[in-house]
Amino acid sequence: MKRRAFLKNGALASISLPFVQNGFSMQAIAKELFSVPKSAEDKVLVLIRMNGGNDGLNMVFPRDQYAELVVQRANMLVPENSILPLTNTVGLHPKMTGMQTLFNEGKLSIIQNVGYPEPNRSHFRSMDIWTTGSLDINQTSGWLGRYFESTYPNFPDAYPNVDYPDPFAISMGSEVSATCQGLVGNFSHALSDPFSSSSLPLTPVVNDGTYYGSQIEYISTLINQTNEYGQQINSAAVAGNSLSNLYDPQNPLAVQLKYVAQMISGGLKTKVYILNVNGFDTHDAQVDALDFKEGVHANLLQRISDAVRAFQHDLQLLGLEQRVAGLTFSEFGRQIASNGSMGTDHGDAAPLILFGSCISSGIIGTNPQIPNQINSQAGIPMEIDFRDVYASLLKDWFEVDPNQIQGLFEQNISYLDLLQGCTNSITQQETFSAQKALVFPNPSLSKHQLRFNSAGAHYEIFLVDQQGKVMAKVLDSFVQAGVFNQSFEVSLLPQGSYYYLLKSAAHQELVAFQKI
């Protein structure tokens, strides 16, 4: 990385201040703030992307409104008696027997009507929104990329290393996942076959600070990572195991999930696996003209359902069930009414599927309301914000501190109870406490805001580095009672971990942030 000058004002020389705060040394607090709880260290999240915009209404059926569905999509609706019942009012597509089984075993949950405000019906923009976890057009990092960046700083330059020898995420196939995009590198490692390994030659390069320099440095880093991660993956896959006989070798998703099971059982510490299924952009011939239960979409659903069922079965046999949870997502659902080509056009919200033995099984949310007449271009309105689903997974599954999570998302998070049953780690609803100070966005690139609840007192706020050195005093004045909110320019700060130390007569607090 290029060296950057520190802060514009040269007068802000650092003052050495090895002080102790509330009985803890700064170093200890730093560790506390950024460490991952032991119980969450071996948790794995599997994401399955349904690329193209999945027709939620042909996957999860509001059984109580079949008559309305007939009004909307008579030219493609599966017969009522073939829908697989989950509850009295909710059913699955007839091809999804595998997932029906998981639901009955308490290992599958449907999250209804997931979307975001002001839906965007462009594949590309909407997929950006889902992968960045943000509605901000300028947000380019992925939601998992931000989480990783705030927890494991200095990626990709500092990785792999002794503490983190394995890729943070693996994207099955030949492309990395936008969910894991950080500001410099992508935290996901693209992998086609964990059993193939070969070493690439590495020529060290120098980044001269130009576009050229950053590109050749990137390629060089990737060569190094490919070699080191490749060896780790290969050893894990060879050491690993797969016990289920339910995987269909003709089903590409099943083959990939089997690889995932082998890597997990072989001890790979990768936290996230991302898999991709193409083909959901079903503008025409979504169903078979002679049998509406069959067709392109039915086959895609069956592939996912069967593969997840086999994977879950494998994890059970391997004794790994409690370590793995999975989630499906797609850029949008489709319009309520079908079009004239036995297909559906781009719509809005749609259901997500959550699976694993630790998830709180059942139906989260309510059935969408299907009108009894066709409204041109109407989609399913959002009920649950997808960013809340992500945030809830981070909190309950990876046990991330809610304040850190709030720094990753722009909206005020409402947590959902997604995980229960096996660990029951956090049951009560926790939300951002206005008593605690917050830096947003965190990690920060150029500007961020510091927010805290002032009791109405004289405050001194210091910027402190990882070694406990005070870099600058950024505030020294009376702060009125209420929420204090101020922007700070940090673009010239070298990358690393920092804190704001808030001090008043009655209130002392540290809030950490990452500069990237």
Q: Which is nearer to another protein, 175 or 476 (CB)?
A: 175
CA distance 176 to 189: 6
The least CB distance from residue 102 to another protein, in Å, is 31
The Cα–Cα gap between 407 and 18 comes to 28
d(CA 108, CA 99): 7
Contact predicate 93/355, CB 8 Å: no
Query: Taking the complex as a whole, how short is the minimal distance between the CB of residue 183 and another protein, in angstroms?
Result: 7
Our CB check for another protein shows the closer of 137 and 492 to be: 137
CA distance 405 to 402: 5
Nearest approach in angstroms of CB 289 to another protein is 13
Give the residue with the Cβ less far from another protein, 189 or 271: 189
Minimum distance, C-beta of residue 335 to another protein, in the bound complex (Å): 9
- The secondary structure of residue 124, as a DSSP letter, is H
Whose Cβ is closer to another protein: residue 223's or residue 457's? Answer: 223
Round to whole Å and give the CA distance between 218 and 224: 10
Q: How far is the CB of 380 from another protein (least distance, A)?
A: 15
Question: How deeply is 199 buried, as exposed, middle or buried, from its count of CB atoms within 10 A (0-12, 13-18, 19+)?
Answer: exposed
**The Cα angle at residue 270 between residues 268 and 271, in degrees rounded to 5:** 135
User: Is residue 406 within 8 Å of residue 413, measured between CB atoms?
Assistant: yes
Provide the minimum distance between the beta carbon of 492 and another protein in the complex, in angstroms, as a whole number: 18
Q: Which long-range contacts (CB under 8 A, 24 or more apart) does 424-428 make?
A: 425/39, 425/396, 425/399, 426/395, 426/396, 426/399
- Cis omega (within 30 of 0) for bond into 165: no
Which CB sits closer to another protein, 1 or 219? 219
d(CA 28, CA 21): 10
Residue 377: strand, helix, or coil? coil
Between 379 and 402, whose beta carbon lies closer to another protein?
Answer: 379
Nearer to another protein, 210 or 369 (CB): 210
C-alpha span between 101 and 313 (Å, rounded): 11
Give contact residues for another protein (rule: CB under 8 A): 118-125, 137, 140-141, 173-176, 178, 181, 183, 186, 189-192, 198, 200-201, 203, 205-206, 210-212, 215-220, 222-223, 225-226, 229-230, 283-284, 339-341, 343, 345-346, 376-377
CB of 230 or CB of 402, closer to another protein: 230
Which of 73, 50, 47, 89 is closest to 340 using CA atoms?
Answer: 73
Strand partners, 25: 20
CB of 193 to another protein, least distance (A): 9
Minimum distance from residue 227 beta carbon to another protein (Å):
9
Asked if 149 and 127 count as a contact pair (C-beta separation under 8 A), the reply is no
Q: Which two tokens stand for residue 251?
A: 């089903």
- In the complex, least distance from residue 198 CB atom to another protein, rounded to whole angstroms: 6
